[in-house]
């Protein structure tokens, strides 16, 4: 049998161990809440979460009582207002403080990755100076430049350079690889050349990176929380389109969107029809800005581009090239229509979606433009690189008349509209930062200057 003193010692050790365990769990819970407040302080426009963060950051004894109840209620309400569920809706019933704090987090698979990235950025902001880096020339492999030492350190701190021993004042192959990784994460031309755009992104301060990521993360997951089973989402700054079917990405395609002077608007609609071999009724704005100047210089442009001209009564007009050139110098009260065919601007397919902006998805006659990093090149409509795969999916799942669809694959001059068994929702969104499949942070330029912070447009 245990002696009484041995039993007392055992109970005392057990009590102390449990006390230390409880203290550790409370400290872990406090850190989870502090990290949560940091995220929300970066996202929310009012200062409530910012005040909570400043209060809790350096004081691990205040998260209790009425303040604890208030913080938990505000956090739960915030995520519920975004239609994003909590990890544990019954978190208040947990006696373990750590389980309670974790239960208050949003039920999102990549939330921990997000928190770790944001904490890293804030640590960089607090630990390192971030002076403006500049160069008077393009820096290419083999060049020597004192700024390369600073660039190397910055790439290492941001995670694109794997080893600080690779930092040199000469532009080595290892530094080139790091710059290319950085360029890829920022939607730049992945050429390894350090120019103005790469330097602008390198100069973005860590806290600004954290804020950009946090805001876009919440925006994206708020969107995803209330989605249809099947939909298309086009991220305009990312120049990317996803076709999603029951949570699975069926198609990921590069797209071309409107240039800054002719922006693609943000809206949601549905594809109601697919057109094979569409004709193109040229919008007046494009006709006056783009086509008439070409016709003035060369009246043959109408025939060469496979256009037809109609008056207000719908009657086709026939003129000589010199006459068209002269007419284009005046008011030109006519309508231009480009016939279906190889030269048609809309290409092989058009996906019609009702909206007030005359915007739709379509093919293109200039596919080489998809190779560009900056694909804000259209007059507003969205050109889809993998348009044939999108059309094939639509034909298999939604097109009513599959027999005629198959027959039309052999045609190039005849235009045909196809109805659908059900409409496919399309959402045009604007996300300038996200976590990719590998958990790395992706950034894109604010091509339309939509974001509040001025930093988000510096990398044009």
Q: What is the pLDDT of residues 426-443, one digit of tens each?
A: 999 999 999 999 999 999
Q: Which long-range contacts (CB under 8 A, 24 or more apart) does 61-69 make?
A: 63/29, 63/30, 63/33
- Which residues belong to the active site? 362, 381
> If pLDDT is split at 50, 70 and 90, which confidence band does 20 have?
very low
Mean pLDDT, the chain, integer: 92
DSSP run (H or E) holding 125: helix 111-127
Cβ atoms 99, 80 nearer than 8 A: no
C-alpha distances (whole Å) from 213 to each of 77, 118, 121, 160, 302 are: 22, 8, 10, 17, 48
Q: Are 446 and 432 in contact (CB under 8 A)?
A: yes
> Above 80 in pLDDT, residue 6?
no
Residue-level pLDDT at 177: 97
> DSSP code of 313?
T
Asked if the model's pLDDT at residue 385 lies above 50, the reply is yes
Confidence of residue 65 (pLDDT cuts 50, 70, 90): confident
The answer to whether residues 268 and 425 touch, using CB atoms and an 8 Å cutoff, is yes
Q: What is the pLDDT of residues 77-89, one digit of tens each?
A: 999 999 999 999 9
Using CA atoms, how far residue 446 sits from 76, 374, 453, in Å, is 31, 11, 10
The tens digit of pLDDT for each residue in 242-258 reads 999 999 999 999 999 99
pLDDT above 80 for 370: yes
pLDDT of residue 454: 47
Range list of H helices, 352-419: 387-397, 402-408
pLDDT bucket at 59, cuts 50 / 70 / 90: confident
Interatomic CA distance for residues 417 and 278, integer angstroms: 8
């Amino acid at each position: 049998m245990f002696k009484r003193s041995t039993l007392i010692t055992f109970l005392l050790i057990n009590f102390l161990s449990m006390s230390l365990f409880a203290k550790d769990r409370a400290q872990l819970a406090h850190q989870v809440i502090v990290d949560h407040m940091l995220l929300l302080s970066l996202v929310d426009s009012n200062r409530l979460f910012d005040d909570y963060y400043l209060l809790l950051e350096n004081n691990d004894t205040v998260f209790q009582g009425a303040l604890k109840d208030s913080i938990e209620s505000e956090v739960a309400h915030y995520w519920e207002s975004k239609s994003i569920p909590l990890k544990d809706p019954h978190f208040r019933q947990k006696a373990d403080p750590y389980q309670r704090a974790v239960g208050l987090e949003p039920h999102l698979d990549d939330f921990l990755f997000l928190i770790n990235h944001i904490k890293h950025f804030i640590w960089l902001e607090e630990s390192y100076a971030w002076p403006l880096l500049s160069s008077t020339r393009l820096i290419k492999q083999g060049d020597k430049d004192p700024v390369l030492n600073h660039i190397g350190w910055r790439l290492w701190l941001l995670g694109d350079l794997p080893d600080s021993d690779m930092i040199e004042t000469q532009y080595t192959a290892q530094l080139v690889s790091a710059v290319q990784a950085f360029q890829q994460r920022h939607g730049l031309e992945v050429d390894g050349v350090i120019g103005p755009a790469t330097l602008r992104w390198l100069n973005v301060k860590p806290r600004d990176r954290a804020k950009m990521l946090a805001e876009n993360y919440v925006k994206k997951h708020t969107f995803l929380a209330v989605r249809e089973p099947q939909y298309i989402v086009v991220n305009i700054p990312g120049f990317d389109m996803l076709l999603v079917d029951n949570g699975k990405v069926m198609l990921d395609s590069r797209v071309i969107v409107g240039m800054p002077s002719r922006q693609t608007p943000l809206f949601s609609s549905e594809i109601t029809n697919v057109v094979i071999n569409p004709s193109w009724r040229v919008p007046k704005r494009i006709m006056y800005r783009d086509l008439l100047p070409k016709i003035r210089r060369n009246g043959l442009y109408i025939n060469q581009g496979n256009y037809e001209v109609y008056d207000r009564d719908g009657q086709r007009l026939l003129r000589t090239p010199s006459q068209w050139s002269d007419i284009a110098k005046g008011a030109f009260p006519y309508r231009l229509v480009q016939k279906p065919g190889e030269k048609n601007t809309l290409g092989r397919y058009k996906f019609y979606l009702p909206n007030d902006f005359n915007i739709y998805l379509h093919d293109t006659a200039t596919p080489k433009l998809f190779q560009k990093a900056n694909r804000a090149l259209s007059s507003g409509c969205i050109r889809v690189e993998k348009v044939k795969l999108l059309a094939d999916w639509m034909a298999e799942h939604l097109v009513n008349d599959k027999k005629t669809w198959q027959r039309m694959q052999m045609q190039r001059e005849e235009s045909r509209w196809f109805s659908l068994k059900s409409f496919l929702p399309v959402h045009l969104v604007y996300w300038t930062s996200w976590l990719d499949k590998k958990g790395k942070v992706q950034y894109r330029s604010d091509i339309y200057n939509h974001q509040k912070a001025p930093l988000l447009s510096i990398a044009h």
